[in-house]
Structure 1
Amino acid sequence: MLDETTIAAVKDDAVEATKNEAPRRSMLRRAGLGLAGVAAAGALTSKKANAQAITDAVIFNFALNFEYLGAEYYLRAATGKGLSSYSAVTGTGTQGTVTGGSAVPFQTTALAYYAQQLANDELAHVLTVREVLGSAAIAEPSIDLADSWTVLATAAGLIAPGQSFNPFADEVSFLLGAYVLEDVCVTALAGAAALLTNPTNIAYAASFLGAEGYQAGAIRGFLSNIGAGAATDAISALRAKLSGVGDNGTSVAGNPFNLTNVDTNGQNYRRTPQQVLAIAYGSSAAGTAGGLFFPNGVNGSVTVV
């Protein structure tokens, strides 16, 4: 476990990094992620969304749902405390509650510090996106970090029906939980590149994509080193089935150290918001409006598979 001094650094590091970005965030707001764009976005709740205008702000608010999810996961794993201990979680839409999550009993020093870095990064992402969106930022929706994992692990075949899976129980379970989340974020951000219109916003999202890519690669490295190929392959197969988009585990084509999740052109797989929601909700059925990690659905304009 991390000592109290190290744990306290999680918020301090993230807040300081966010303060240093204040001038750039102000510029970004002027560049097109302003409140008027959010207000004009209108309802966007189904696959018919392509016929409506998806503004840059709509995409950033959609991403904020998943930044909340990631921050809750890593902060609770590293510190035992939820996001509300470090950041405001209010905003537009219905504010929910978060269930589950606890400090992981880390035994490996490198992994304990890596979890701290992940917590730092995800907290900084939440703080930065909320600052950019200002009063238009969505509230944190209800997030399930308890029962959702057992449902997902059963569906992937990691456990038998009647068993339970808790990613906060030990280091290996924590890594598998992180594996579930990180690749989804990478594919979501890669997919958003085609939806964003302002060059400044595209560059801004690319920086988040780079961070998530580093994180996902490191998680894959840890799992490869402990021979978790069968488990990651099963998780990837489930994500592919739910989203209809390719997904490679850490053991593919005879390589037990597959550190990237790319297609035959060496490019990140990309997912639309609806394909991302299919994974997050645990259902690809058209019209699905909640489930799994987001039992009551996400906040914002894009909410339905």
Structure 2
Amino acid sequence: MIDQDAISAVLQAGAHRREERRRFLRIAGGAAAMAGGMTLLSSCGDDDDGPAITLQPTPTGTPSPTAAAPPSEADVFNFALQLEYLESNFYLFATSGQGLPANLRTGTGTQGDAVGGRQANFTDPVVRQYARELAEDELLHVQFIRRTLGSAVAAQPAINIGGDANGAFTAAARSAGVVGATGVFDPYATDENFLLAAFLLAEVGVNAYMGGVQFLNTPAFIEAAAGIHAVEGYHSGLIRTALVTKGIQTPALNVFQNAQRISDARDTLDGTANTGLLNQGGDRDQGLGTPDNLNLVNADANAIAFVRSPSQVLNIAYLAAGPNIAGGGFFPNGVNGNIRSTTATG
């Protein structure tokens, strides 16, 4: 079971919502069993939250000599889980001073700790409530995906969520020009810094789920991924709205400018800067606009969220552009699972 004492502040209001998610697991598991796509488990492994569903493992047959085999459903969910480990640890540390409990970090691959996190100095009670909502949702995503994967679950890798001189958030802020080459960006220092850090992470999650769903075939898994993707979209909109409010209230904080810098940095890292892809204005990954012309939704000309491939997501998470990169940034030693390195094709 989860250590309720360690993260009670985050989970206190979540009992009803957890029950709804457990009910979905039972429904999804039953529907999939009838379709022959998955198997109901009699226990959940990490905790006693009810039955789980298992994914088909990565195919073990001989790969085609001309094309790499597409990722399996287990690969897709394990890749998503690596991002959920990152987000949940960041939000949990910010709201409670502690990360994921030990029983939610186990699995295949090299298990690591989340370092650099601490409780945030929230002064705005609304932002504090937002942070608690984000922490609870991402924790539940971790639990859900781990139950779905069952024995195929990949462990939490080493994660850097620090805001000191050697922290990944500082490296990201320097790369984006939010701070100078020797400046420090502490996401736990102020409400605005927390929101900018959340802005960096949440929107990558939206695009990652868009990129992963194409490899899913089982209806219940598609529904689950779409549901998580929808919640990530809610998170993105909430964070954007909170940042806009701060930027309008206090122009000296440079919220609009810094959000745009982060947006541009994501495009540079994933190799799509100045490509004009998808968006009529020529900017694929968009900032918040201006106080007189707000942009609260990061979408293309048809109001559709755009896709980032797993490789492009890893370029951003590793804070390094280009192919053949297997670690760095928020994941110093890389992620666990079969999708680990960036590719030349993006």
TM-score normalized with structure 2 length: 0.79
Separation of aligned partners in 2, 1:17 and 1:80: 27
Residue in 2 that maps onto 1:258: 295
1:177 equivalent in alignment to 2:197: yes
1:82 equivalent in alignment to 2:99: yes
Residue in 2 that maps onto 1:206: 226
Give 1:200 deviation, angstroms. 2.2
Separation of aligned partners in 1, 2:341 and 2:230: 27
1:37 equivalent in alignment to 2:56: yes
1:286-305 equivalence runs, <5 A: 286-305=323-342
Separation of aligned partners in 2, 1:193 and 1:215: 19
Separation of aligned partners in 1, 2:332 and 2:22: 33
> Cα distance 1:132–1:27, how it changes in 2: closer, same or farther (>3 A)?
farther
Residue in 2 that maps onto 1:23: 26
Does the 8 Å contact 2:326/2:341 carry over to 1?
yes
1:51-70 equivalence runs, <5 A: 51-70=68-87
Match of 1:233 among 221, 245, 260: 260
Give 1:27 deviation, angstroms. 3.5
Does the 8 Å contact 1:157/1:234 carry over to 2?
yes
Give 1:6 deviation, angstroms. 4.2
Residue in 1 that maps onto 2:121: 105
Give 1:242 deviation, angstroms. 1.0
Which is greater in Rg? 2
CA displacement, residues 97-124 of structure 1 (integer Å, 9 cap, x when unaligned): 1111111121111111111111110000
Partner amino acid for 2:148? V
Separation of aligned partners in 2, 1:43 and 1:99: 39
Does the 8 Å contact 2:29/2:38 carry over to 1?
no
Separation of aligned partners in 2, 1:97 and 1:5: 21
Separation of aligned partners in 1, 2:206 and 2:335: 18
> Cα distance 1:53–1:24, how it changes in 2: closer, same or farther (>3 A)?
same
Structure 2: which 5+ runs fail to align?
Answer: 1-6, 40-53, 248-254, 273-283
Does the 8 Å contact 1:33/1:133 carry over to 2?
no
> Cα distance 1:41–1:226, how it changes in 2: closer, same or farther (>3 A)?
farther
Does the 8 Å contact 1:11/1:120 carry over to 2?
yes
CA displacement, residues 7-41 of structure 1 (integer Å, 9 cap, x when unaligned): 45167566545444441353477463665722426
Give 1:285 deviation, angstroms. 1.9
Separation of aligned partners in 2, 1:193 and 1:223: 29
Separation of aligned partners in 2, 1:72 and 1:13: 22
Residue in 2 that maps onto 1:222: 242
The count of aligned residue pairs is 297
Give 1:256 deviation, angstroms. 4.2
Partner amino acid for 2:37? G
> Cα distance 1:53–1:42, how it changes in 2: closer, same or farther (>3 A)?
farther
Residue in 2 that maps onto 1:96: 112
Query: How well do the aligned residues superpose, as a CA RMSD in angstroms?
Result: 2.5
1:196 equivalent in alignment to 2:196: no
> Cα distance 1:104–1:255, how it changes in 2: closer, same or farther (>3 A)?
same
Does the 8 Å contact 1:25/1:131 carry over to 2?
no
Give 1:49 deviation, angstroms. 11
TM-score normalized with structure 1 length: 0.89
Give 1:195 deviation, angstroms. 2.1
Identity across matched positions, percent: 36
Match of 1:278 among 292, 305, 315: 315
Separation of aligned partners in 2, 1:186 and 1:103: 25
Between structures 1 and 2, the one with greater helix share: 1
Give 1:218 deviation, angstroms. 0.6
